[in-house]
Amino acid sequence: MIATTEKKTVNKTLVNTIKEEAVLDNIASNYVTSPTGIDFSQISSDTNGKGLYILHGTENNPNPIMYYRGAVENNNVKFANFCWKIVRTTETGGVKLIYNGKPNASGQCMNTTGSATTIGDSKFNPNYDDNAYVGYMYGTAKSSTYEDTHKNINDSTIKTVIDEWYSENMTTYTNKLEDTVWCNDRSIDPTSSGTGAGSSKTYYGAFYRLYDNRTPTLECVNENDRFTVSSENGNGALTYPVALLTTDEIAYAGAVWDKNNSSYYLYNNDNWWSLSPYDLLSGIAAAFHVNSMGYLYQDGVANARGVRPSISLKPGVKVQSGTEGTKGNPYVVVE
């Protein structure tokens, strides 16, 4: 046997690479001063969350959910010739990412603002005068029932844009992606008198959680709203395993309703859509988006805002040895 000092390349799974930094989110830690943990009624900061956190209540699960929050700089990934930010892990041990543009000529992921971090602008839906149009897919406008209004029959404008982009750029990488749930939560705010049908004034579940109570969740109440490719774990309505982040996921990352935040990793000095319905009020259907000042807000679905697709890497996906997750040296998925 010939002795050698040459280092071997050891590729690690992405989850195992990042998890060493994770701490529980309901206790005090390096960047959380409150003894009860992160306060989601306040934006992320050096005292209210910056780093990788374990969602309390999942710490004893086979795959605890971990999420990035605040002004982190080590959650950059290069995959499928694009740059992405790690948002969180999934219940199955996958890794959910959000689009963050294209790498530069040196292979770095330096994009920070505006159109460089989106695939362009789009309306959420072409019309706005009915509850149907808060849907990523939707049923029949002017219906008298919730069920007919929110059937997953018609593709939204933004779904069409995302699917076309995926078809042109991502189909050869589908084998690296998991079929996770994308929650277009059309559950009705329990304090709302609306029916969710036709032009009935209605507030939706994310409004109740993130406008009224500032309490994000990763639960998705209605099976009809759990968008997946396969019907085994959701509604089976998607063509491709891609959609948008929910407002709840953005809140975990550091955003709050109507409070400026330019110091968290999802901030891009632009307006961009989430997947979460907001309301139908005064004949205008609205969804949550992230404002150019970095806060959560609502916008009529017929307005054009930025589109940042989200995908989820399968459990066990590995990244190249020596990559660090920084903009200059992003994690590189082994393809």
Length of the chain: 335
Alpha helices in the chain (DSSP H): 14-18, 146-149, 157-169, 205-207, 247-253
User: Is residue 8 over pLDDT 60?
Assistant: no
CB-based contact 34:68 (threshold 8 Å)? no
**Half-sphere exposure at residue 95, Cβ-oriented, CA atoms within 13 angstroms:** 26
User: Is residue 153 over pLDDT 60?
Assistant: yes
User: Is residue 66 over pLDDT 90?
Assistant: yes
CA angle 246, 187, 120 (to 5 degrees): 30
**pLDDT of res. 208:** 98
Q: What is the pTM of this model?
A: 0.96
User: Is residue 2 over pLDDT 50?
Assistant: no
**pLDDT of res. 9:** 61
Q: What is the mean pLDDT of residues 113-142?
A: 97
* H or E stretch at 54: strand 51-54
List the one residue out of 108, 103, 98 whose CA is nearest residue 266.
98
User: Is residue 308 over pLDDT 80?
Assistant: yes
User: Is residue 254 over pLDDT 70?
Assistant: yes
pLDDT tens digits along 88-116: 999 999 999 999 999 999 999 999 999 99
**pLDDT of res. 3:** 46
Tell me the pLDDT band of 335, cut-offs 50, 70 and 90.
confident
List the one residue out of 86, 108, 105, 83 whose CA is nearest residue 95.
86
Q: What is the mean pLDDT of residues 36-50?
A: 98
Q: What is the mean pLDDT of residues 36-58?
A: 98
| Percentage of the residues of the chain whose pLDDT score is greater than 90 | 96
List the one residue out of 45, 48, 110, 103 whose CA is nearest residue 333.
103
Q: What is the mean pLDDT of residues 22-40?
A: 98
CA dihedral 288, 253, 244, 193 (to 10 degrees): -30
**pLDDT of res. 20:** 87
Rounded Cα–Cα distance for residues 135 and 225 (Å): 9
Six token digits for residue 141: 């406008």
